[in-house]
Structure 1
Amino acid sequence: MRDLKNLDDAALAVLSIALNGYQEHEKTNTYVSRLFLDIVELLVGSIQDLSIWGIRDLLAKENKRRARTVTVRVVSPTDFEGIGKLGKQELLVLRLIGQGQRSEDIVRLLSISYRTLANHKARIAAKLGLGSARDLLKFAIDNLMIL
């Protein structure tokens, strides 16, 4: 198994999602659970000797280790100005996107409709001068510390 220290934050988020998906579908849909397991193995290598809970434990330890690590990133003044233009709800949506929350989760957490979420994303992208959903996701992840 590969060391989780070699994975970036996005890969750790994908690993967590894949573990959740595997466990959610393990007993009900073997095809889907196998797809999630393939993602886990793609990220960490063969897991024959480890249980899913063993990987979860390693993932939790790595997340805890990274939380103690101090990272300094210079914030672009234009990024900071753009964030200042956002309303409370837009800022919250951007923060949740940066944390890796899916649209389904954001809609549920904020008790809003998918259409409202789409409108928030469009307004956020316009205020920040971003062109696509991918740009919005990258911006949210890159600037999560100042959100």
Structure 2
Amino acid sequence: MEPSKPDGHFWYGANLGELSRISPVTVGLKSFDDIREAMNTTIAIQPDYQGASAYDALGQLEMKTRITGGKVEKAIEYLEQGMKIEPANSNIRLHLAEAYFAADRDADGIKKLNELIAMKPHPNYIPEHEAAVVEAKKLLAKKS
């Protein structure tokens, strides 16, 4: 890993996050700090790396760790920062909507989901956008 480049830090954190999701007890609990550090390092080097996805990862980490101290408000802060940097990131928009719902800000969440469904996908992330749209429609159906 090259310390001055975002790639290794981001993908280390992303892969560790996926392992944590798959094995929350054996990997997840002890990896949160490492994921957070990797994503914060990515942001320090290049905030817009991979469509500002480090902010998305930090927001999701806050949401997934609420039982152990993660905060919805902090998740919203990370996700809103990511949206400012890369408004075309479908996953950030989806996860921001979820965070708004968790914070009892349903109108804001519904607005973000509708924006997601209506937006034109970034050409490099069409499959990710399509998956986010499917999830957005499911969430909207639950809120109707």
* Structure-1-length-normalised TM-score: 0.33
Higher RCO (CA-CA < 8 Å; seq separation 6+): 1
Q: Which has the higher helix share?
A: 2
- Could you say which structure has the larger radius of gyration? 1
